[in-house]
Structure 1
Amino acid sequence: MKSVDPTRGDMPFGGITILLGGDFRQILPVITHGERGEIVSSCITRCRLWSICKVFVLTQNMRLTKGGDDIEIEELKNFAKWILDIGDGKVFPNTVDSARCVEDDIIIPPQFCDLQNENSVENMIKATYPDFSENCNKPHYLSERAILTPTNQTVSHLNSLIVKKLPGELVSYFSVDSVEDFGGTEADLNNAFPVEYLNSINLAGMPPHELKLKVGAAVMLMRNLNQTLGLCNGTRMIVTKCLKFCVEYEVIYGSFVGTSHFIPRMELCPSETRLPFKLVRKQMPLQIYYAMTINKAQGQSLGNVGLYLPKSVFIHGPFYVAISCYFSKRFKDFF
């Protein structure tokens, strides 16, 4: 920008106005084994450029302002305010519950919980996916609902239970795992990291060694393949045909709804890992979609959300993200 104005050479971004969008109430940066100070120091508010930024705050929730009558509109406003209070850390246990609560505990109001049925995984699945056997192949039914939970281990358990409910034969696709960038010899590699050990490794952002699919199963793409065709990270699809070396899918959400694609196995590498080697897994970049982690749900809008918390969420940010994904007017069906 010096060619436009010599003084712009010393200005941030060359004096050009830059618009940044984001929600500071959502999940903080992930620092592996980081303490509170390290996580806070990695936030954008600690950046040297933050002092020259001007903050504009959106004050109206456009998702929760459409109600059938005045009573429903008022309930939606209260629900929207409760979401913001959760994100701002303003919701604390009352004096009655404070004796059995610890710091930063959140008491969920009873109107957002299912108090009539037993607290079980089966009832969670039935509440989030009602009449599943009759609607399991309908794209609109699958694209507007999901179960959210904090950890990948719980997600895998829930997805395996739901896939078993689908009619048809279960097909397993096994990955081919190898190692690169290992400092030792090949003999040391085979002795220290056998193939069985490599197959047992499950990392965030990587498909499992054994991917179990059925025709009609809802899946999500885990990497960008072709953005012009809508095959991006997070694209939701449904399995239409299980072949020997690839699987046919149909997109069920977004601008490319109804388009079909064949996705084969491909080499995938984790972006960040604490392993002393580079794991290369040749597998289809897919994961079952019925349940997902709260981190993966950032930026998505769903009409029916089941929040499954066998353990407490790490901080209030993930809980805020989970309840923010829910936008339907039937907000009392939130569990």
Structure 2
Amino acid sequence: MTHKHIFEAVDRSFQDIMKLDKPFGGKIIIFGGDFRQILPVIKRGGRCDIINSTLKRSYLWSHIVPLRLGINMRLLQFQEANDYLINNKYSKFILRVGEGYETFDGSRDKIKIPEDCCIASNDIEDLIAFVYDIDKDNTADETITKDEATFYPTEFLNSLSISGLPPHKLLLKVGVPIILMRNLNSASGLNNGTNLIITSLLPNVIEAEFVSGSFLSTKVLIPRISLIPTDSGLPFSLKRRQFPVRLAFVMTLNKAQGQTLNKVGIYLPHPVFSHGQLYVAMSRVCSPHKLKIITNDKTRTTTNVVYHEVISD
């Protein structure tokens, strides 16, 4: 969620442009957001500081007419014919979590995780297996000059982990998310840091598709190339022939906002600590069957942080 100061700065800019002392210079502005989600991050700020940073604590709020959406389109869009009752029940559960009305033992601060969303073994390896299977191996390392190859055996080169290079042993599978580590083609959106999903693994290229941005769902081919680090700190020049990608298995709860994911595994070795984090994490999937959660609590409960001042106003 955006800090209220951003909206207020835009308001003043519109008033200056329109030379009219009305909210946003008399222009109609449409906002989109969900106060159940994570609020603005305030460094070293407490609960009051965070709540005070929201749009609801701005002078603009009295001029805003809230229009509420009551249908979970993420669940509705992808459901199968026999999933309606299950998804409808889960949709109501998610709303109660987001608004802090889902309780456990009379406490609003804790919720019971639905049995279907639990990993029976409570083992992180089983959580990983639920989300991903990894079964493709592509590797190749060598020194640039033949003389250097005499002193540095292949096994040693393979063991090196260097910043800016993909790992020697790159394990991939169709469906896993990856992040690009080189600028390949800016015009096609293939820039360093681009996130993609693998759709096919071919002998010398990876076929992948964009997961966000203006190239959403566009398929591209990523070749295996020779990568030479410019500042490795090694006494020799290393050339690693590999696909210029790294696996991007996980994301923070904050980064998950706005995402729609096929499968989600939530690992909570420690409880959430901020408003909306649990709601965001549990609402990214298109079906409750696609969600699994692990906590360190044997009672299958976890903390749910909700600032009711923001929800109830």
TM-score range normalised by the length of the shorter chain: 0.5 to 0.7
User: Does the C-alpha gap of structure 1 residues 312 and 265 become closer, same or farther in structure 2, counting only changes over 3 Å?
Assistant: farther
Kindly provide the CA deviation profile for residues 118-169 of structure 1, in whole angstroms up to 9, marking residues without a partner as x: 222211111122xx24xx5xxxxxxxxxxxxxxxxxxxxxxxxxxxxx5233
User: Does the C-alpha gap of structure 1 residues 32 and 59 become closer, same or farther in structure 2, counting only changes over 3 Å?
Assistant: same
SS at match of 1:252: strand
Per-residue deviation, 1:225: 10
SS at match of 1:259: strand
Counterpart CA distance in 1 for 2:26 and 2:183 is 33
1:68 paired with 2:81, answer yes
Residue number in structure 1 paired with 2:113: 108
Is there any run of 5+ residues in structure 1 with no aligned partner, and where? 1-6, 137-165, 172-207, 242-247, 267-284
Counterpart CA distance in 2 for 1:74 and 1:227 is 45
Instruction: Check whether the contact 2:127–2:292 (CA below 8 A) recurs between aligned residues.
Output: no
- The residue type equivalent to 1:14 in the other structure is G
Residue number in structure 2 paired with 1:124: 127
Residue number in structure 2 paired with 1:236: 196
User: Does the C-alpha gap of structure 1 residues 111 and 44 become closer, same or farther in structure 2, counting only changes over 3 Å?
Assistant: same
Residue number in structure 1 paired with 2:139: 169
User: Does the C-alpha gap of structure 1 residues 114 and 36 become closer, same or farther in structure 2, counting only changes over 3 Å?
Assistant: same
Residue number in structure 2 paired with 1:87: 98
User: Aligned-residue CA RMSD in angstroms?
Assistant: 4.0
Q: Which moved more, 1:317-326 or 1:286-295?
A: 286-295
SS at match of 1:167: strand
Counterpart CA distance in 2 for 1:224 and 1:17 is 40
Identity fraction in percent: 36
- Alignment size in residue pairs: 231
Per-residue deviation, 1:227: 8.1
Which among 3, 6, 10 is matched to residue 21 of structure 2?
10
Is there any run of 5+ residues in structure 2 with no aligned partner, and where? 1-17, 142-162, 230-243, 294-313
Instruction: Check whether the contact 2:72–2:91 (CA below 8 A) recurs between aligned residues.
Output: yes
Per-residue deviation, 1:94: 2.1
Residue number in structure 1 paired with 2:219: 258
Counterpart CA distance in 1 for 2:56 and 2:117 is 33
Instruction: Check whether the contact 1:215–1:240 (CA below 8 A) recurs between aligned residues.
Output: no
Residue number in structure 2 paired with 1:199: none
Normalising to structure 1: TM-score of the pair?
0.57
Which among 50, 53, 57 is matched to residue 46 of structure 1?
57
Larger radius of gyration: 2
Matches within 5 A, 1:1-335: 9-65=20-76, 66-69=79-82, 72-94=83-105, 104-115=109-120, 118-129=121-132, 132-133=133-134, 166-169=136-139, 212=167, 214=170, 216=172, 218-220=177-179, 229-231=188-190, 235-238=195-198, 251-254=208-211, 255=216, 257-260=218-221, 288-328=247-287, 331=289, 334-335=292-293
Instruction: Check whether the contact 2:103–2:109 (CA below 8 A) recurs between aligned residues.
Output: yes
- The residue type equivalent to 1:259 in the other structure is V
Per-residue deviation, 1:220: 3.0
Residue number in structure 1 paired with 2:233: none
User: Does the C-alpha gap of structure 1 residues 297 and 221 become closer, same or farther in structure 2, counting only changes over 3 Å?
Assistant: farther
Counterpart CA distance in 2 for 1:54 and 1:325 is 27
Per-residue deviation, 1:32: 1.4
- The residue type equivalent to 2:167 in the other structure is K
Counterpart CA distance in 1 for 2:186 and 2:33 is 23
Per-residue deviation, 1:79: 0.2
Per-residue deviation, 1:22: 1.0
Instruction: Check whether the contact 1:67–1:76 (CA below 8 A) recurs between aligned residues.
Output: no
Kindly provide the CA deviation profile for residues 53-110 of structure 1, in whole angstroms up to 9, marking residues without a partner as x: 11111011123234423xx312211100000111101112125xx6xxxx72222122
Instruction: Check whether the contact 1:302–1:327 (CA below 8 A) recurs between aligned residues.
Output: yes
User: Does the C-alpha gap of structure 1 residues 120 and 19 become closer, same or farther in structure 2, counting only changes over 3 Å?
Assistant: same
